Amino acid sequence: MSCKLIAYIGGIFRKGDATSLLLQDILGYRPVHTDYYRLALTHRSVMQEDPKGHRINNERLEFLGDSVLGSVMADILYEAFPNQNEGELTNFRSRLVKRETLDKLATDIGLDRLIVAAQHYPTNANGPKIHINGNAFEALIGAIYLDKGYEQVYRFVQRLFKRGYLNMNQALQDYNYKSRIIEWAQQHKYQYEFDLIHSEVNRTNNTTLFRTRVLIEGKRLGEGEGLSKKQSEQMAAREAWETLQKANGLPPDSPTEQ
């Protein structure tokens, strides 16, 4: 980050104020370069720009934090599960860093109370998930990395596990509903299809809403919406799996995710 950009963001978390104290409680230490953290908590809906017209928001830090968080989780899982193969470790990591998990994590630790976003912007409460909170958490990881380095990110994530905000066992019991549907259909030699039936661009929020349905032997078993095709498929697959459970008495932990 350039010095001019840091200066333009303006101010720092004032020592002793409520925002500073909450951030320190979340991090477990006092930040050095506080402007990284301020940037991490600035959503693009605020529409701030620097003197050169470059937008000031947390998207670049989110990109960085996503990669760093993935590496840290890989380190932690590699040590925690010495007998698991690559595919299993990859699935474990995907469950721990998926958007829904990070959304909840950000809310649980109080990060959502620090995010600066336009009042009109949709929240995570209802409908398809916008993931403001989870994205800000990834941006926070990016800020920690730039401020304190990889080892501090590792300690921060380990602290979240120790304090119960992340739960390894709970994460490993999560399921991929699309994989369940595919495995169940193949097991019974049924034809299945994930059919994208609608997509609509919301220019106000610069988002695209996708709607997918799941067909088994030509019969619709579920529909779902999401802000990506993959998310809409998962939501549709979840409804389809719940339909199959009710009709066939399927246990909640059957079959195994691929």
- Residue 8: the pLDDT is 37
For 211, phi then psi, to 5°, come to: -130, 125
- Name the region of 149 (left: φ>0; alpha: ψ -120 to 50; beta: rest): left
Q: Comparing 88-97, 121-130, 202-211, which segment has the lowest mean pLDDT?
A: 121-130
| CA–CA dist 4, 215 (Å, integer) | 55
User: pLDDT of 199-237, one tens digit each?
Assistant: 888 776 677 889 999 999 999 999 998 878 888 898 899
User: pLDDT of 46-82, one tens digit each?
Assistant: 767 666 667 778 999 999 999 999 999 999 999 988 8
Please spell the DSSP secondary structure of 53-106, one letter per residue.
Answer: S-EESSHHHHHHHHHHHHHHHHHHHHHH-TT--HHHHHHHHHHHHSHHHHHHHH
Mean pLDDT of all residues belonging to the chain: 81
pLDDT higher than 60, residue 9: no
Q: Which residues are catalytic?
A: 66, 138
| CA–CA dist 158, 174 (Å, integer) | 20
- Residue 84: the pLDDT is 76
Count of beta carbons in the 10 Å neighbourhood of residue 16: 7
| CA–CA dist 171, 105 (Å, integer) | 12
Count of beta carbons in the 10 Å neighbourhood of residue 25: 10
- Residue 83: the pLDDT is 77
- Residue 12: the pLDDT is 42
- Residue 88: the pLDDT is 74
pLDDT higher than 90, residue 189: yes
Q: Which run of H or E residues covers position 177?
A: helix 177-187
What CATH number matches the domain at 3-172, 2.60.120.10, 1.10.1520.10, 3.30.70.580, 3.40.190.10?
1.10.1520.10
Classified by CATH at the fold level, domain 177-248 comes out as Double Stranded RNA Binding Domain (3.30.160)
pLDDT higher than 70, residue 256: no
- Residue 119: the pLDDT is 61
Give the three-class secondary structure for 120. coil
Q: Do 3-172 and 177-248 agree at the fold level? A: no
Segments making up each domain of the chain, as ranges:
3-172, 177-248
Looking at the chain, the whole-number percentage of residues with pLDDT higher than 70 is: 78
The burial class, CB within 10 Å (0-12 / 13-18 / 19+), for 181 is buried
* Confidence at 122, pLDDT banded by 50, 70, 90: low
| CA–CA dist 33, 189 (Å, integer) | 58
| CA–CA dist 95, 172 (Å, integer) | 7
- Residue 130: the pLDDT is 65
- The more confident residue out of 154 and 91 is 154
Tell if the pTM clears 0.85, that is, is over it: no
- Residue 6: the pLDDT is 40
- Residue 172: the pLDDT is 63
Instruction: Report yes or no: 183 and 255 within 8 Å, Cβ to Cβ.
Output: yes
- The residues facing 215 across adjacent strands are 193, 220
| CA–CA dist 106, 112 (Å, integer) | 6
pLDDT higher than 80, residue 16: no
Count of beta carbons in the 10 Å neighbourhood of residue 206: 9
